[in-house]
Amino acid sequence: MVSLPCLLRTLPALALVLAVAGCATPGGRPTGVEATVTTRAVGYLAADAVPAILQLVPAPPAAGSAAFALDEQVSREARALQGTPRFLQATADAELAFPAGANQFACAIDLDVEAQHTPALYRLLERSRIDASAATRAAKHQYQRPRPFTVNGAPTCTPADETALRGNGSYPSGHTAIGWAWALILSEIVPERADAIQARGRNYGESRLVCNVHWQSDVLEGRFMGAAAVARLHGNAAFEQDLQAARREIVQAHRAGRHARRDCAAEEAVLKVRPASAL
């Protein structure tokens, strides 16, 4: 039987556990809607160091414009992939919650990212994810662009997220900003695999087209803002420290014979399928 003094000492910790649990989904997994993932990590950048997106990107394409016509064409081509292996891959790519989100580039770097074995790399990806997401937030709020599935009525790859996505502006794509930021960062850490990493960054953004949750112009400006975030990160001492530590971890892991434990050949083949008009 637990004594009263012991119980009283336990209550603050119990309250913290319950508070964290209250931020998660009923199954205990943080929600992966865009980049607003429940996390105890923080970004590297202070609020005033986040790129000023409203000064950097134009307004989204207007209805009736040539740019929006291209958005619609790419969206039609992407919707044709629903029910295919590429759609299943896009579903997997939607996951940004860690630890699963840490391994979106596992095949590209040929290594599983694990907090236990590669803590600096894990921390680098998690914290830069938050910064890349923050770089898109002001435009999402400003423009509140409707997402493709609200316009065309077709399914998405994450139906459980649709209610939240309706209230989260489509422009630009937060997932794409994160994926492209990761691609640039990882290309510095593992330069011998830069081509594979950058290809993964590109098709990671294209998964948002296949998911029917973003327009092509959302994805293009998401890449731009991912790059803008990385440029700012290079002026941050904590980021640079983790970058160097992550490079050492990957070198040591590869020397020890550790590799990605998934079917990377199959993943690569699936990711070669893309909307024909996508830029």
Task: Give the active site residues.
Answer: 175, 208, 214, 218
CA angle 170, 173, 174 (to 5 degrees): 115
- Looking up tokens 């423009």, which residue turns up? 143
Give the three-state DSSP class for 44.
coil
Residue 237, token pair as written in the block: 């001492």
How far is residue 171's CA from residue 142's CA, in Å, rounded to a whole number?
Answer: 9
Q: Determine how many CB atoms are found less than 10 A away from the CB of residue 122.
A: 22
Helix (H) or strand (E) holding 85: helix 85-93
Q: How far is CA 170 from the centre of its chain?
A: 14
CA angle 128, 201, 70 (to 5 degrees): 115
Q: How far apart are the first and last CA of the chain?
A: 65
